[in-house]
A and B are shown apart, each in its own frame.
Chain A
Amino acid sequence: MRTMDQNLQRELIMAVATSVIANAEELTSLDQAIGDGDHGINMKRGFEAVLTDIDGLATRPLPDALHAIGMALLMKIGGASGPLYGTLFMTLGKELPASPSTEEVARALAAAIAAIKTRGKSEIGEKTMLDVLAPVQAELAGGGAELAARLRRRAFAAADATTPMKALRGRASFLGDRSIGHMDPGARSSSLMVAAVCDVIGG
């Protein structure tokens, strides 16, 4: 896998942002089924704000860049995803060194998952972004060969696995059993971000 430098940092930010923006309509459509139908447009607004400062973000030390991305998402998304994804990126920024190892990324992601649980008052198995991030973190912590490809598959499979779950947090929980049979939009957006990172570091 590649080591962190400014070029890789730029590629990673661009890949995550463009993937979320390119799939905004799908995210909105998932959210229309079990939420308030704004996840795609909110995430797009957040990552467009990130891209307006891509030159600055690419050249800052990784922890600073991650903190700034988190703040941009927090300030611009405008829904519950703002604080949740803001917390994800800000915690990664707090925990990661400028050029992290795989083990350090796994530890930082574990810390971010804990912070998201606190922020969202949520646990694994409640049909949220945590149901993607937690299995991805477990796979990452296990290490091994072909890690990027495995993480990518794991992320998409985990998002799919939210479909039969009953939502216990957020607007979708108002639907009760009617939330069953739809993929969670936050799980989907998380899987897109993980896959975008894997495409860059594994390719």
Chain B
Amino acid sequence: MPNVGIVIVSHSAKIAEGAADMVRQMVGDAVPLAYTGGNASGGLGTDVAAIMAAIDRAWSSAGVAVLVDLGGAETNSEMAIELLGHGRRAGVVVCNAPVVEGAVMAATESSGGSPLDVVKRTAEELSAQ
């Protein structure tokens, strides 16, 4: 069974890339990982098509956990997941967690072979504290 994929979605391309660097430092190539940041014009914001592409890049039959920063990143990620279609959307979840810490925690959990619901719960423990 492959590991759960991780997708990082930030309004800022730099934050998305930097958070992905931190994930790679922790788990290397053990976890499928993709990130996206910025709107369709390259400014601060999020881009539904780019989020869908990131989910494709991090795709895993074990599922994909999406980490987001602020409101629009969450709403656009939920929309991107719906547009994946019936066959795939059930395998993708948005985690209610801080984007940097959540991505590192989720990826670390995934690297140990945990299923998607455990990966999500581990990331979300950060919000419950």
23 A-B pairs (CB sep. < 8 Å): A36-B44, A74-B79, A76-B40, A78-B39, A78-B41, A78-B43, A78-B45, A78-B72, A79-B45, A79-B46, A80-B71, A80-B75, A80-B76, A81-B72, A82-B75, A82-B76, A83-B78, A83-B79, A119-B75, A119-B78, A170-B71, A171-B70, A171-B71
Question: What CA separation (Å) do A86 and B48 show in the bound complex?
Answer: 11
Number of interface residues of A (CB under 8 A): 22
Question: What CA separation (Å) do A48 and B72 show in the bound complex?
Answer: 20
Residue among B41, B43, B49, B76 making CB contact with A83, cutoff 8 Å: B76
Please name all residues of chain A whose beta carbon is closer than 8 Å to the beta carbon of B109 when the two chains form the complex. none
List residues of A whose CB falls within 8 A of some B CB.
Answer: 36, 38, 41-42, 45, 74-84, 86, 119-120, 169-171
Taking the nearest CB of chain B, how far is it from the CB of A128, in angstroms? Answer: 11
Question: What CA separation (Å) do A76 and B49 show in the bound complex?
Answer: 9
Known contacts A84-B75, A120-B75, A75 near B41 by CB under 8 Å: no
Please name all residues of chain A whose beta carbon is closer than 8 Å to the beta carbon of B40 when the two chains form the complex. 45, 75-76, 78
Question: What CA separation (Å) do A169 and B70 show in the bound complex?
Answer: 11
Do A78 and B79 touch (CB < 8 A)?
Answer: no
List residues of B whose CB falls within 8 A of some A CB.
Answer: 39-41, 43-49, 70-72, 75-76, 78-79
Do B46 and A78 touch (CB < 8 A)?
Answer: yes
Taking the nearest CB of chain B, how far is it from the CB of A122, in angstroms? Answer: 11
Question: What CA separation (Å) do A75 and B53 show in the bound complex?
Answer: 13
Residue on B with the closest CB to A80?
B72
Please name all residues of chain B whose beta carbon is closer than 8 Å to the beta carbon of A81 when the two chains form the complex. 72
Give the interface centre of B43, B72, B78 by most chain A CB atoms within 10 Å.
B72
Question: What CA separation (Å) do A45 and B39 show in the bound complex?
Answer: 10
Please name all residues of chain A whose beta carbon is closer than 8 Å to the beta carbon of B44 when the two chains form the complex. 36, 38
Please name all residues of chain B whose beta carbon is closer than 8 Å to the beta carbon of A120 when the two chains form the complex. 75
A-B complex: 7 closest residue pairs judged by Cβ atoms = A78-B39, A78-B45, A80-B72, A83-B79, A83-B75, A79-B72, A80-B75
Question: What CA separation (Å) do A119 and B78 show in the bound complex?
Answer: 9
Question: What CA separation (Å) do A75 and B47 show in the bound complex?
Answer: 6
Question: What CA separation (Å) do A77 and B78 show in the bound complex?
Answer: 15
Please name all residues of chain A whose beta carbon is closer than 8 Å to the beta carbon of B49 when the two chains form the complex. 75
Give the interface centre of A78, A120, A170 by most chain B CB atoms within 10 Å.
A78
Question: What CA separation (Å) do A119 and B70 show in the bound complex?
Answer: 15
Please name all residues of chain A whose beta carbon is closer than 8 Å to the beta carbon of B43 when the two chains form the complex. 38, 41, 78
Taking the nearest CB of chain B, how far is it from the CB of A120, in angstroms? Answer: 7
